[in-house]
Amino acid sequence: MSPAAVQAERAARRAGPASAAGLQGLVALPQQVPPRPEEPGILRALGGQLLHLGRHSRRRLQDLRQREGGLEGRQRGWGSPAPGNVPEGAPEPPEGSAPHSRRRSASPPPAAAPACRRRAAPAAPTSRSRRGPSGARRRASPREAAAPPRPCPAQLSHARSASHTSTAHCTPSPAPSERQQPHPPPPTTALGAVVLLPGRGGADPRLGAQARRGRRWRGACSAVAGSGECSGAVAMLLYCCTSAGRARQCFHALKLIKKDCLLSLRVSLCASTASVPRITTHYTIHPRDKDKRWEGVNMERFAEEADVVIVGAGPAGLSAAIRLKQLAAEHSKEVRVCLVEKASQIGAHTLSGACIEPRSLEELFPDWKERGAPLNTPVTEDKFGILTETSRIPVPILPGLPMVNHGNYIVRLGHFVSWLGEQAEALGVEIYPGYAAAEVLFHEDGSVKGIATNDVGIQKDGAPKATFERGLELHAKVTVFAEGCHGHLAKQLYKKYNLRENCQPQSYGIGLKELWTIDEKKWKPGRVEHTVGWPLDRHTYGGSFLYHLNEREPLVALGFVVGLDYQNPYLNPFREFQRWKHHPSVQPTLEGGTRIAYGARALNEGGIQSIPKLTFPGGLLIGCSPGLLNVPKIKGTHTAMKSGILASEAIFSQLINENLQSKTIGLDVQEYEENLKKSWVWKELYAVRNIRPSCHTVLGVYGGMIYTGIFYWLLRGMEPWTLKHPGPDFAQLKPAKDCTPIEYPKPDGKISFDLLSSVALSGTNHEHDQPAHLTLKDDSIPVSRNLAVFDGPEQRFCPAGVYEYVPLETGEGSRLQINAQNCVHCKTCDIKDPSQNINWVVPEGGGGPAYNGM
């Protein structure tokens, strides 16, 4: 039920039986005609604006009218009686006074209230807004047909599209005796239903009587109407608030604008759901079974059977595959292991700092050095500092603190993952690069059956091409999900199995990285530098790294991490990164150098508090998918690999157990989670659990440093309390009106660079003629809420320039444009979108960045 309908029912209960009975004849509740998926957003946005206006005085509304340029002929608000409706004995208003400024002593008789008849120019039947969710025209319900005459509401027009124009007119109502009984039902709305609550002295005399007896009636009403003849550009909004003796404040928020019916509120720049350009064409939002273009298309899929299917060829997924084949060889068993990876080649989507601990690698391959693992740069120097705008304050790294990197290796993680892939293939693992897992398959008993790869050969508008092919189904006894941070299949599993029931919301960061070749004189192989502070304020979690690699050329890896729980919608992580490079302690290292690569990736920062349940019937989660990153260390490769090893050992023990009696078709490997909690991974994450949440105090990041220096160094995580995160990252964003815009310096093209030239270095590419994989649940939300309230934060938090707001063709308002080809698969938009309207899904396999050793 919509918020307006909920408020309507509550108001009816407060007003008493008589009013409730009257309400039944006047309100067409949304459950009778369910709105289309894109409708609630615009209702919330418009209704919220009217709620806000309803609490203000007449003066505020007069100011609003003046700002909007005035009304032709000064259309009457509901607080003023229309000609012929002035009660007997009511004083005449002063000459020259605005009609809406009069104070009414009593409500006009309902029969004399003005009514509205809409005349619209006929339009071609192309607008979806004229039909209900099922596509058929909605017939008026008996309740609507019996409704008393409605007062003339304001008719508000959204930005008109180039192909649709319409006008609406209000004409005086005929005399009561001339009216047809019953009154014609209200027109079917573009949003599927009319929600109408009359004000004091409105259409229903019973409601007026309740008000005169002192019963306070408050109703919130959002009516967005468009008849079958309208092309979707006209919307009517109604908000009623009545109380005894205060009819004047009962809704001047509505007004009439004769010709163009322009929207009178701030949302006038927002296109209606009927006129919003269609952005999302993906079948996850618009099912193909309802699309006539897909009639007759062969939708059968070929299926393969395996013992274990692994999704994602990162450190965790490859470690799991390798360990399974090692165990199979040790026990002389045949185990078929299939691994799918959406990148065109192994390692092409892998990005990290990276300074790794070799602990898990030594467990997996004790002879890793002899095998030629690309760990070429042992850490020789470790530095940490706090940056101010002009200086660097060195901070000593005491033994035992998480930042100690002695014994670790600086690596190019993409090269390391590629090497792991070679080892897996040598052991017999079937690896399928360029195949993106798009769907989780389930048995009839609810357990996971396997996965299906995505379909290929679909046009940008969602229609099938001549080359259309269905994806491949891979069935397995156990499916291992190693998608990495914020995997799109893992999100589905969280909801289906309620895996996050007993954990806190996950917290994330966005990491941006560049590779540079620098002057050999400035090159210090093995040096590791970390900083916090400038250019971020103390309430924004983040920091930087600068690693000197021992490669054939003088190479440095530098990056910047920003916690996605930041509050200012004007913050731009990419531009913060570019500004940081100009710091006096950083710029000298880069001067004279050449930037050769760029990329970005989200990372988990929630810690042990945010780890969900890891097992479910038929599958399990490993690596960064559930969030096993050690945040203070800024390391997760070693914990991810260990989780893959433990998962394989638990899976293999069930596969070879001949006496195993599973309750479900898909095996439920609960032993994996139990073993992980007994391992050094869990102890390590538990010890640092409070460091990241401690940054949410008034001291911000510096409070976290103090906490680390005192409690962690002394107690090693043995404190008897566990701090909590403030909530989901998207909920931390403040409205733009409460924040100060951030002025960023222009890039100089030598140290700092623009976004598009940076994305070009990532090698990102997608097939252009395919539906955008960045889907919107509601195409109207970006403009009606994100732009109106937060000033379009997606155009700043995206590190690849995917989102931008461009003017509408009519010149009135803006629309969101999605440049899906730029996407580097970082998942930041899915995480930080304040409306949670963006849903990232996989594009065609092989698309995305083409990182080389990032």
- Residue 584 reports pLDDT greater than 70: yes
Most confident listed range (139-148, 254-263, 305-314, 659-668): 305-314
The residue-averaged pLDDT of 678-682 equals: 97
Burial class (CB in 10 A: 0-12, 13-18, 19+), 67: exposed
Terminal-residue alpha carbon distance, the chain: 48
Interval 460-502: pLDDT, tens: 999 999 999 999 999 999 999 999 999 999 999 999 999 999 9
601 is a catalytic site residue: yes
Spatial contact of 622 and 317, defined as CB atoms under 8 Å apart: yes
Angstrom distance (rounded) from CA 454 to CA 462: 14
**What pLDDT does 275 receive?**
59
Angstrom distance (rounded) from CA 245 to CA 37: 40
Question: What is the rounded average pLDDT for all residues in the chain?
Answer: 76
DSSP 346: T
Residues 6 or more apart in contact with residue 405 via CB below 8 angstroms: 355, 379, 382, 528
- Dihedral (Cα; 433, 434, 438, 444), 10-degree rounding: -50
Q: Where are the beta strands (DSSP E) in 2-128?
A: none
485 is a catalytic site residue: no
Angstrom distance (rounded) from CA 360 to CA 5: 57
Most confident listed range (197-201, 258-262, 690-694): 690-694
139 is a catalytic site residue: no
Query: pLDDT exceeding 90 applies to what percent of the chain?
Result: 61
Provide the token pair at 334. Answer: 């045949």
Angstrom distance (rounded) from CA 497 to CA 481: 14
Which residue out of 76, 798, 814, 828 is catalytically annotated?
A: 798
Angstrom distance (rounded) from CA 194 to CA 32: 10
- Residue 107 reports pLDDT greater than 60: no
230 is a catalytic site residue: no
Cα 766 versus chain centre, distance: 21
Which among 117, 114, 113, 75 is positioned nearest to 227, based on CA atoms? 117
Name residue, tokens 């418009």: 46
Name residue, tokens 């809406």: 100
- Residue 159 reports pLDDT greater than 50: no
Tell me which long-range contacts 747-752 makes (C-beta under 8 A, separation of at least 24).
Answer: 747/578, 750/591, 751/578, 751/581, 751/582, 751/587, 751/590, 751/591, 752/578, 752/579, 752/581, 752/582
Per DSSP, the residues of 398-409 read: -TTSTT--TT-E
User: What type of residue is 56?
Assistant: H
Which residue out of 188, 281, 352, 828 is catalytically annotated?
A: 352
Q: Sort strands 377-378 and 409-410 into parallel, antiparallel or unpaired.
A: antiparallel
Spatial contact of 509 and 577, defined as CB atoms under 8 Å apart: no
355 is a catalytic site residue: no
Interval 46-94: pLDDT, tens: 444 444 434 433 444 445 445 444 433 333 333 333 333 334 444 444 4
Interval 728-754: pLDDT, tens: 999 999 999 999 999 999 999 999 999
The residue-averaged pLDDT of 265-291 equals: 70
**What pLDDT does 642 receive?**
98
Residue 194 to residues 31, 49, 755, 851, Cα–Cα distance (Å): 11, 18, 46, 52
**What pLDDT does 706 receive?**
87
Angstrom distance (rounded) from CA 110 to CA 124: 37
Spatial contact of 461 and 632, defined as CB atoms under 8 Å apart: no
**What pLDDT does 282 receive?**
94
- Residue 727 reports pLDDT greater than 50: yes
Local structure of 603: helix, strand or coil: strand
φ/ψ (deg, to 5) at 562 = -125, 125
**What pLDDT does 77 receive?**
37
Angstrom distance (rounded) from CA 104 to CA 96: 17
128 is a catalytic site residue: no
**What pLDDT does 179 receive?**
36
Which residue out of 540, 823, 828, 835 is catalytically annotated?
A: 823
- Residue 776 reports pLDDT greater than 60: yes
**What pLDDT does 620 receive?**
97
Which residue out of 637, 814, 828, 835 is catalytically annotated?
A: 637
Residues 6 or more apart in contact with residue 769 via CB below 8 angstroms: 459, 460, 465
Q: Sort strands 803-807 and 774-776 into parallel, antiparallel or unpaired.
A: unpaired
Q: Biggest alpha carbon distance in the chain?
A: 103
Which among 292, 253, 7 is positioned nearest to 135, based on CA atoms? 292
Run of H or E including 393: strand 392-394
624 is a catalytic site residue: no
Local structure of 14: helix, strand or coil: helix
- Residue 109 reports pLDDT greater than 60: no
**What pLDDT does 712 receive?**
80
Interval 697-720: pLDDT, tens: 888 888 888 888 788 877 888 889
**What pLDDT does 663 receive?**
84
Strand partners, 409: 356, 378
Angstrom distance (rounded) from CA 795 to CA 804: 5
**What pLDDT does 820 receive?**
96
Which among 664, 289, 317 is positioned nearest to 489, based on CA atoms? 317
Instruction: Encode 21-48: b = buried (16+ Cβ within 10 Å), e = exposed.
Output: ebbebbbbbbeebebbebbbbbbbbbbb
Q: Which of 579-583, 613-617, 655-659 has the lowest mean pLDDT?
A: 655-659
φ/ψ (deg, to 5) at 715 = -100, -15
- Dihedral (Cα; 17, 22, 25, 31), 10-degree rounding: -50
Angstrom distance (rounded) from CA 58 to CA 250: 10
Local structure of 39: helix, strand or coil: helix
**What pLDDT does 130 receive?**
33
Which residue out of 323, 601, 692, 796 is catalytically annotated?
A: 601
Per DSSP, the residues of 608-648 read: GGG----EETTEEE-TTTTT--BTTTTB-HHHHHHHHHHHH
Instruction: Assess whether the previous peptide bond of 535 is cis (omega < 30° from 0).
Output: yes
Which residue out of 261, 273, 826, 835 is catalytically annotated?
A: 826
Q: With the C-alpha atoms ordered 841, 844, 849, 850, is the resulting torsion angle positive or negative?
A: positive
Angstrom distance (rounded) from CA 695 to CA 714: 18
